[in-house]
Amino acid sequence: MLYQLHELNRAMMAPWVHLAEANSRIFSDPSSWASSLPGAERIAAGNELVHRLGKDYEKPPWGIHEVEVAGRKVPVLEQEELRKPFCRLVRFKRYSDDAATIAALKDDPVVLVVAPLSGHHATLLRDTVRTLLRDHKVYVTDWIDARMVPAEDGAFGLDDYVAYIEAFIRHIGAAHLNVISVCQPTVPVLAAVSLMAARGEPVPRSLVMMGGPIDARRSPTAVNSLATRNPLSWFENNVIHSVPQPYPGQGREVYPGFLQHAGFLAMNPSRHFMSHWDFYSDLVKGDLLDAEGHRRFYDEYNAVLDMPAEYYLDTIRTVFQEFLLPRGKWKVNGELVKPAAIKGTALMTIEGELDDISGLGQTQAAHDLCTGIPKTRQRHLTVEGAGHYGIFSGRRWRENVYPQVREFIARYAG
């Protein structure tokens, strides 16, 4: 019922949100007579703030059209390589008409970036992907909003997530593949590669795991405490709802994006309040550069998707309540996950010193589980002063983390 009430409220507010957008343009457009009225800049700023607080945020485009490779601008085309009901495997294909550049691009390592299915769209990793494209052929898992997946396509649980990763690795080809997993997918990625190794299948040349809950018992954060403080039934009864009309996924049980977004904001409400106040002040002062930065950030941050209920509840139970992976008791479709079976893959783990989502040591725990990988092929990096997002996006990622990731992949890419 909560989802239906949310949609009703959204529909009722829509005329006022659109009116606020129109007022903002009328009082800020230099060609409009209203912009010359006393206090016009404050009226325009207030209306734009109301509009942005109430508007719908659709999935942002990737917007990666070119990258610089060896001093040359190289066009980039987004291609859908493989499509499954809940995920698209996307490749960012680089092009050039220069023979030397083509030869250089051809020899670059292949990377699969496994994006989290945890509220935000995969485009949150835009900076990660754009940076990697300088020196790599890049594929990305682009997860689909569960409310847009028809109910007849069936359920999607954590076991299905693992199966998707296995399918994507096989499709690209494990022999020359390097996998980067960011946050939540570190767990299913490690499971997928472990299962493939145990079966004797080819496995990726390297794994780079960033800020993920491999062992959520270590340095528990507020996220971990919420999962351990409440039984699984609490999550089933309080955060799981049915998708209403008119969405294609009508009737599907999900963890709605609007509830996830409320949780994100509740983690640091004062910071978001001040950010919106600063945005209003920047508009009044005419500081359009900072105002545009605010728009870009919240266009991404406020764009959320619904997660399939089965997947969300599986993750809560398996990763955050029963800790089945580090305890050696996790079975995926009846197969025991044994990270010790991985032998020919190099392993790098990365954590942020100030990460308040995946605490210190949670990702590094992968080294204790992957005992079949020689220590000479293992590496851990703790990024000083970095929070959760800083290890894969922003200046620290580009200047401090990426050069070390690039060197690690190059060493084992073959």
**Beta strands 335-336 and 331-332, pairing class:** antiparallel
Structural domain range at position 349: 67-231+307-413
Place of tokens 């060197």: 407
| Angular region, 335: left φ>0, alpha ψ -120 to 50, beta rest | beta
- Are 371 and 386 part of one and the same domain? yes
- Are 151 and 226 part of one and the same domain? yes
Instruction: Please list the pLDDT of the chain residue by residue as tens digits (414 residues).
Output: 788 888 888 889 889 989 999 999 999 888 988 888 999 999 999 999 999 988 888 899 999 999 988 778 899 999 999 999 999 999 999 988 777 777 778 889 999 999 999 889 999 999 999 999 999 999 999 999 999 999 999 999 999 999 999 999 999 999 999 999 999 999 999 999 999 999 999 999 999 999 999 999 999 888 888 888 999 999 999 999 999 999 999 999 999 998 988 887 877 788 889 999 999 898 898 888 999 998 888 888 889 999 999 999 999 999 999 999 999 999 999 999 999 999 989 999 999 999 988 999 999 999 999 999 999 999 999 999 999 989 999 999 999 999 999 999 999 987
- Are 202 and 342 part of one and the same domain? yes
- Are 92 and 220 part of one and the same domain? yes
Write out the DSSP string of 377-390: GEEEEEETT--TGG
* Separation CA 283–CA 46 (nearest Å): 9
* Separation CA 218–CA 355 (nearest Å): 13
- Are 190 and 261 part of one and the same domain? no
Q: What is the DSSP letter of 60?
A: P
- Are 191 and 263 part of one and the same domain? no
**In this structure, what CATH number is given to the domain that contains residue 357?**
3.40.50.1820
Per 3-state DSSP, what percentage of the chain is helix, strand, and coil (rounded to 5)?
50, 20, 30
- Are 186 and 225 part of one and the same domain? yes
Q: How many domains does the chain contain in total?
A: 2
- Are 50 and 197 part of one and the same domain? no
Of 285, 301, 317, the domain-final residue: 301
Strand blocks (E) in 146-239 = 177-182, 206-210
- Are 107 and 205 part of one and the same domain? yes
Does residue 390 lie in a domain region? yes
Place of tokens 């993750």: 315
